[in-house]
Structure 1
Amino acid sequence: MGTRSDQEQPAHEAEPAYGFRRRLETVHRADRRDPTAGACGDEVVIDDSWRIVVGPGADAVVHHAATDLSDYFSTSMSLTLPIVEEAAIDGRSAAADGPAIILATASGMPGLLPVGIADRGYLINVEPRRIVVCGATGRGTAQACYHLEDRINLRGAPFLSPGTQTREPLFEPRMTHSGWGLDTFPDAYLNQIAHAGMDSILVFATGPDRTPDAFTHRQPSRHSPGQLRDFNELVDRCAGFGLDVYLYAYFHGARPVHPDDPDADAFFDRTYGALFESCPRAKGIVLVGESVEFPSLDPSTNGRLRLDPAPDGLPSGKPLPGWWPCTDFPQWVTKVRDACRRYNAEAEIIFWTYNWGWAPEEERLRLVERLPQDVVLQATFEMFEPVEHDGVRSVCVDYTASFVGPGGYFASEAAAASRRGMALYSMVNTGGLTWDLGVVPYQPIPQRWSQRHAAVLAAKRDWGLTGLMESHHYGWWPSFVSELAKWAYWSTSPDPEELLAAIATRDFGTGAQDALAGWRLWSEAAGDHVPSDGDQYGPLRIGPAYPLTLFSKPALPISDDAMFGDLIVRIPYQPDHRNTVPATANARRITAEIAALERMIARWEAGAGLVERAAAAAPAHRQEAAAELTRLGRFIACCLRTTLHTKQWWRLRAQLLVTADVAAAEALVTALAAVGEAEAGNAQAAIPLVEADSRLGWEPSMDYVGDADHIRWKLAHLRHALEHELPAFRATLRI
């Protein structure tokens, strides 16, 4: 890779590779208590005289919640609250023993909770010397404890307003992949997920106790069984945190059969059925076309698998079966359902229509109408929506925050599922990140996320949306935007704007108004540019490490262990859309996208200035968190500038290759050099940011592809283009 430049500005403090994982494992932060806060009015003050009381016979989840709550008070509030076990009749512990937080479940306090409340629902009753925390089940009790933490964190001190509150989740499940490392879930990270109000994790499955490895993808001609994992051990650990486990089917290499094949039942049993035979307590399985291909007989498709060569070596003009709403998918889903439920009668079969949301509505709805009614339909919330801007049409080709949603594809299938009485889930990305940016932990665009939350809640009201996938292989990171999601997705929550103002006050003190204004500019900027496939698989994927190529085609250095590595990064850049998407042609659209990006960058950098000013005013105990956010904001600005420079470079290069006039060509060479130098400065500015925060430049399925070493690698290639390739080309103009 490239070498360090003498001109680089060293980071104030470098974080070693993967150091971010220590932050993911820090469930309770030590910066939560505001030392200047004082109790107001009739607020109940929790101090060292309080205890945490657990009733006899409490389950493991309640015991975990008690231990976790005690650790929270110790770490975040500098209080010591011992855990004691004693009977609590109607939630009343012996007053002589002092004030107490009493943890219980509905079975120990009958009649306290509404009939039919969800099993993660709960009641919290705050009185001067007694706080009763009662969950419908142990899972509900744990969520109630986490909610107490949320309330105290917002207050900045262990002060609670008296009163009774009953809450329950509005969506079940709420699923996420790992942001610690693909398919890897340490206990502390599972605890973070549970604290965020999510109830499920997703793990890729290539077979019983197997997850994908790099070999699975990079040498597809030789099938790899994947990495060995113990799914049952994972289910056990998750249960202790009140979490379920969903398997994401990823069958590449095992030759599938058609449901009509004589060997079909045996095939489906030894693939899909085997997953639940070996791990019967898995909650369900997610099926998506590109990961579970089969040789469809639908004449609208070419009937082949993705890696199958065409018999005549020519393109067929028809889509692959994994990318089309095939007429025989209902048969296929039925076979999968029957094979899985042979070993787990309650297994959820989630059929995700991600790959063909672009197809004609008539074809898609015909499939929905013929699916078994007892499977779950999942549709992506915002994909494939056309967006008009700057005189051109762009399309939301993959997960994006540029369009709030819901899109027409989702709405049509959601309405069809509602008519049929089918369970409906959606991929909504409200863990905080989309494919608009590839090597950041989350997008700090809170007002934009609040709009998405409102739209998701409306989909629940209008079409019965019940379950959410909140991140894919890029994982989930705890942040203030995931706080917003947690509050929004539970009943009896505050107004989003009031909540955001409270978060800003907590995190920035007197700088709260600047933070809110900066966040609003960032949120508005998110709607300025609709990324194309070329953007999402190009400069937005790896940020300032993305190379500007003239004639050479550099190979991105990748980890041998990464699942995808460079497979979802396309070099050199092409500003394409999928050929199935009706967008304006590249030549016209890229000019509009350059204008849109210039607006976006101006807005984003203005927002960054406000957030940095807010950070300067943040109280001392919140300075570290504020600095982390300002680095993220500056790094995102670098990613956007790389994308702008990549588009400008592509357009100038394309013009240069077809320009016959010598003077005009000379001017284009000069312009290319200027863009290249601007990008060199931009990439150089990103290096201290990624050195200070090891999460920047990393993504679970790609590993490090945007860190300092990769940026230096890019700079070396850029210097070659500027100092060798461009001068050599300029010389040919005079021949």
Structure 2
Amino acid sequence: MSKFCLIAGLLLQATLLVHGQNTVAAFAEKAYAVLPVEEPYTFHKELSEWREPLRRDAGARPGVSEMPVGPRGWRLLVRNDSGLVLRTAAEEFSEYLERSMQVKVALEHPASMAEWNNERNAIIAGTREQLPGCGESLKGPKDYRIAVSPGRIIVCGYDERGAMYGLFDIERRMNLREAPFLERTLDITRHSLFKARMVLSGLGWEEWPDRYLALLARYGFDSIFASVYVNPNGVPGPPPYWDRMKKQDPKRVHDLIRRAARYGIELYCPIIYLYTGEPENEAGLRKLVRDIVTEFPQIRGYILLTEGFFYKSFFGAGGQGNIDLRDWVRHWARGVAIVSEECRKLNPDIEVLPWEYNIDFRPNQVDLKRYGTAQLPVETIPLLTFENGKAFERDGERGSLKDYAINEVGPAEVTIAQIDEARKRGMRGVYSKADTFASWQYGTFPYLPFPYQWYARYMALEKYKIDGTMETWSYGFKPSWMAEVRAWYSWSGYPELNQLLTGMARREFGAGSEDLVLTAWKRFSEAIKLVPDTGPNMGTNNSVATPLFFRKPKARAMTLDHSWEDPAIWQRHSQLWPYWPYTPRRLILVPDFANESNAAERYARPFSLQVFNKYLALAADQMERGLLSYRQAALKAPASKRAGAMREVLLAEQLQRMMRSDRAVLEFEDMRFRLAKTADRVMRLDLLKRMTALLQEERTRTQHSLETARRDSRLGYEWEQDYIYTPDHIEEKLKVIDLTLKEQIPEYAARQ
């Protein structure tokens, strides 16, 4: 009986696999026909020149509880003495109504709005001082109130940025409704949950076009981290890395400050310095700080990241060797104190954010991290890495997050201790580097469609009372419905999650598919919890383009095997492996062709390879369960939404393929290694058979990865390396697969 059940189970599994493959192929045929091929950087050009698209549903009609705006006779009132932020926001909002909602409003600038309560057919936007009697409930910067009454909408901000965010809140509500309608009885006061919401560009280093800045403001960001790894005044940084960065032009920083200010966006910048504690060196640091702060009085704060601001010697996270970390962090904190002292002399409001990212963040380093926070000046604001180092288990095997990730919500054990220490000491605040819609775990995607897992992180940020956030690293911001969810949860008074997601599902896929889409998003959110691969590695960022090598390939770039120059050192500095020079070496799996160590096992550590691959498969299977309903929703989408819905599905499929290819690369290398180690002919033939089957499966998957990447130029982009993978790279992978299947494995088998 048990044997019969086993056979039946295997047959059922095979049937489902074939059905799943057919479903993928059938959907792909339709999606590829609908979606045009994009040239690389297409998304870059679109975001650099971004304008509001048409969002109005021509068939939408206001319900009995809704008030329409327009189509004619409405005015937008902003007082004539308003500052740059509010005037710019009014212009942006007016353009939004015309372009996106097909409502033209007259933008007027009266001298007074004291009689705001008597206006009709008007949207009135101002600060609490400009709208007397309207803003008593507003408590602090960026707060706003929206009050709707017949023929009138009031947007009252605590300050001009609050009024701006109130106008953009109305945009989000209209976007969800796909019409210029608001609830007739809407009267909501929303308090900002964060003093700062900071982001890096999603376009490139120091790439901040005006239209992109306007987009950031719409998603609730009030600050940017600019001039990353480079002093804003252009003073070169120290070796071994920061002397090789692009040179900063101070004029560019001044220009960015000026342009960002129109959208209520302020700058945080780094200070890059090798601090030794010697008198001359300390004097040099003080001069550098004074020079920067004097030249750029508008910069809001300075981030002292240990990758660039360090004591004596630099080391990567966990790579300190024999360095006494307590001694190191104590001296580093003295350097932080010098920066803080000089800033406060010139402007006490400047925020100094020490960020000790490189100090060991594994779960067993709680005492060390607490000690580090205790050394910092109380007037500084520690910038804590939220999730890095968080412990997790798979089948009793323990690991921890190696870098930014979302399979665990956070905070990490070390971060909890640091937050506690900062609160006890009464520090000025606690900020955190916390991804909220994209991450280095799958960092070659513009966003990650795991709304329930992201929501859990938003709640954790609230629970631990994080005062400010840096919400991306170099994957940066690109607009998406997931980033829009994050914007909603950055102020109090946010909607219930399922209610919000239902509206977004309806907007993205069409009415009638809401349950299908929410089912998919729940499955995806469960899938990411299973993933054991964390951080900026091959498996989560490049596996779809990573080759599977049966033999050492021919060199594709210069080599130094016979040179007096050490090839290992050259590869470390260049980050390139001559045999696959398309992406940094760390983002491919390089086999040990001497067969002294198993590269797959090394990659999976601290987990066993068996457990690691098991959970990659479980995550991918859970993604497939979600994709079944996601594809169904896209196929049901009305013609006006079909292309967008199919693009959403292809992105989720590419995520699943990244998981499956991650496992395939590791399994293939493990089999290649074991093939080289065994003298048993039967075992060799069995391994060859399994490797052939794996390659055939990976070839089909890679072909779909290629076609998807061709239709979405956002995929593969992570501007630390520009594109980590491109369609051309994937085509090269396919050539390696074909060479292995058609020549290398048959030749090897013939010799057995």
Does TM, normalized by the shorter one, top 0.5?
yes
- Whether the 8 Å contact between 2:275 and 2:332 is mirrored in structure 1 is no
The TM-score with structure 2 as length reference comes to: 0.85
Superposed counterparts of 1:160-175, under 5 Å: 160-161=182-183, 162-175=185-198
- In structure 2, relative to structure 1, the CA distance for the partners of 1:212 and 1:327 (3 Å cut) is closer
- SS of 2:382's partner is strand
Task: Please give the alpha-carbon distance, in whole angstroms, between the structure 1 residues aligned to 2:241 and 2:265.
Answer: 33
- Look up the match of 1:500: 501
- In structure 2, relative to structure 1, the CA distance for the partners of 1:451 and 1:511 (3 Å cut) is same
1:180 aligned residue (203, 206, 219): 203
User: Aligned-pair distance for 1:241?
Assistant: 0.2
In structure 2, the gaps of 5 or more residues are: 1-27, 558-570, 577-581, 592-598
- Whether the 8 Å contact between 1:361 and 1:412 is mirrored in structure 2 is yes
Task: Please give the alpha-carbon distance, in whole angstroms, between the structure 1 residues aligned to 2:555 and 2:627.
Answer: 33
The TM-score with structure 1 as length reference comes to: 0.87
The letter of the residue matching 1:334 is A
Task: Please give the alpha-carbon distance, in whole angstroms, between the structure 1 residues aligned to 2:602 and 2:111.
Answer: 64
Task: Please give the alpha-carbon distance, in whole angstroms, between the structure 1 residues aligned to 2:284 and 2:405.
Answer: 37
- Whether the 8 Å contact between 1:269 and 1:340 is mirrored in structure 2 is no
1:402 has 2:407 as partner: yes
- Whether the 8 Å contact between 1:205 and 1:212 is mirrored in structure 2 is no
User: Aligned-pair distance for 1:336?
Assistant: 2.3
Q: Deviations over 1:559-610 (max 9, x none)?
A: x999x962652541645789xxxx9645xx2111211111111111221221
Q: Deviations over 1:628-669 (max 9, x none)?
A: 211211221221221110121122123223222122122222
- Look up the match of 2:566: none
- SS of 1:160's partner is strand
Task: Please give the alpha-carbon distance, in whole angstroms, between the structure 2 residues aligned to 1:233 and 1:561.
Answer: 33
User: Aligned-pair distance for 1:172?
Assistant: 1.7
- SS of 2:464's partner is helix
- Whether the 8 Å contact between 2:600 and 2:667 is mirrored in structure 1 is no
1:276 has 2:293 as partner: yes
Superposed counterparts of 1:217-366, under 5 Å: 220=241, 223-224=244-245, 226-228=247-249, 230-250=252-272, 256-259=274-277, 261-295=278-312, 304-306=313-315, 317-319=321-323, 326-355=329-358, 356-358=360-362, 360-366=365-371
Task: Please give the alpha-carbon distance, in whole angstroms, between the structure 1 residues aligned to 2:309 and 2:148.
Answer: 51
1:659 aligned residue (678, 686, 697): 678
- In structure 2, relative to structure 1, the CA distance for the partners of 1:320 and 1:202 (3 Å cut) is farther
- In structure 2, relative to structure 1, the CA distance for the partners of 1:619 and 1:221 (3 Å cut) is closer
- Whether the 8 Å contact between 1:196 and 1:483 is mirrored in structure 2 is yes
User: What is the total number of aligned residue pairs between the two structures?
Assistant: 685
Task: Please give the alpha-carbon distance, in whole angstroms, between the structure 2 residues aligned to 1:616 and 1:221.
Answer: 50
- Look up the match of 1:109: 131
- Whether the 8 Å contact between 1:202 and 1:247 is mirrored in structure 2 is yes
User: Aligned-pair distance for 1:532?
Assistant: 4.6
- SS of 1:404's partner is coil
1:83 has 2:92 as partner: no
Task: Please give the alpha-carbon distance, in whole angstroms, between the structure 2 residues aligned to 1:591 and 1:415.
Answer: 38
Task: Please give the alpha-carbon distance, in whole angstroms, between the structure 1 residues aligned to 2:477 and 2:575.
Answer: 20
- Whether the 8 Å contact between 2:310 and 2:332 is mirrored in structure 1 is no
- In structure 2, relative to structure 1, the CA distance for the partners of 1:514 and 1:192 (3 Å cut) is same
In structure 1, the gaps of 5 or more residues are: 1-7, 296-303, 308-314
1:595 has 2:606 as partner: no
The letter of the residue matching 1:569 is L
- In structure 2, relative to structure 1, the CA distance for the partners of 1:199 and 1:290 (3 Å cut) is same
1:199 aligned residue (218, 222, 225): 222
- Look up the match of 1:312: none
1:92 has 2:95 as partner: no
User: Aligned-pair distance for 1:46?
Assistant: 0.7
Which one scores higher on RCO, CA 8 angstroms, separation ≥ 6? 1
User: Aligned-pair distance for 1:143?
Assistant: 0.5
- Look up the match of 1:134: 156
Task: Please give the alpha-carbon distance, in whole angstroms, between the structure 1 residues aligned to 2:160 and 2:555.
Answer: 51
Task: Please give the alpha-carbon distance, in whole angstroms, between the structure 1 residues aligned to 2:542 and 2:324.
Answer: 28
- Whether the 8 Å contact between 2:534 and 2:540 is mirrored in structure 1 is no
The letter of the residue matching 2:468 is G
- Whether the 8 Å contact between 1:391 and 1:592 is mirrored in structure 2 is no
The letter of the residue matching 2:247 is G
- Look up the match of 2:91: 67
Task: Please give the alpha-carbon distance, in whole angstroms, between the structure 1 residues aligned to 2:187 and 2:116.
Answer: 15
The letter of the residue matching 2:302 is I
The letter of the residue matching 2:366 is E
- Whether the 8 Å contact between 1:393 and 1:584 is mirrored in structure 2 is no
- SS of 2:330's partner is coil
2:529 aligned residue (527, 533, 555): 527
- In structure 2, relative to structure 1, the CA distance for the partners of 1:576 and 1:293 (3 Å cut) is farther
The two structures, once aligned, show a CA RMSD in angstroms of: 3.1
- Whether the 8 Å contact between 1:87 and 1:93 is mirrored in structure 2 is no
Task: Please give the alpha-carbon distance, in whole angstroms, between the structure 1 residues aligned to 2:442 and 2:176.
Answer: 29
- Look up the match of 2:55: 32
Superposed counterparts of 1:309-458, under 5 Å: 317-319=321-323, 326-355=329-358, 356-358=360-362, 360-422=365-427, 423-430=429-436, 432-458=437-463
More helix by share: 2
Task: Please give the alpha-carbon distance, in whole angstroms, between the structure 1 residues aligned to 2:57 and 2:701.
Answer: 38
- Look up the match of 2:537: 537
Bigger mean CA offset, 546-555 vs 606-615: 546-555
Bigger mean CA offset, 597-606 vs 272-281: 272-281
Task: Please give the alpha-carbon distance, in whole angstroms, between the structure 2 residues aligned to 1:70 and 1:630.
Answer: 33
Superposed counterparts of 1:152-163, under 5 Å: 152-161=174-183, 162-163=185-186
Task: Please give the alpha-carbon distance, in whole angstroms, between the structure 2 residues aligned to 1:691 and 1:371.
Answer: 49
User: Aligned-pair distance for 1:94?
Assistant: 6.8
- SS of 1:24's partner is helix
User: Aligned-pair distance for 1:452?
Assistant: 1.2
Q: Deviations over 1:476-527 (max 9, x none)?
A: 1111111211111201111112211222122221111100101111111011
- Whether the 8 Å contact between 2:41 and 2:714 is mirrored in structure 1 is yes
Bigger mean CA offset, 268-277 vs 493-502: 268-277
Task: Please give the alpha-carbon distance, in whole angstroms, between the structure 1 residues aligned to 2:125 and 2:297.
Answer: 31
Q: Deviations over 1:38-90 (max 9, x none)?
A: 21224221111111112121111111111111111111111111211224433
- Whether the 8 Å contact between 1:268 and 1:339 is mirrored in structure 2 is no
User: Aligned-pair distance for 1:553?
Assistant: 6.2
Task: Please give the alpha-carbon distance, in whole angstroms, between the structure 1 residues aligned to 2:232 and 2:242.
Answer: 21
- In structure 2, relative to structure 1, the CA distance for the partners of 1:222 and 1:317 (3 Å cut) is closer
User: Aligned-pair distance for 1:617?
Assistant: 2.5
User: Aligned-pair distance for 1:410?
Assistant: 1.3
Task: Please give the alpha-carbon distance, in whole angstroms, between the structure 2 residues aligned to 1:368 and 1:318.
Answer: 21
- Whether the 8 Å contact between 1:329 and 1:367 is mirrored in structure 2 is no
Task: Please give the alpha-carbon distance, in whole angstroms, between the structure 2 residues aligned to 1:597 and 1:457.
Answer: 31
- Whether the 8 Å contact between 2:138 and 2:189 is mirrored in structure 1 is no
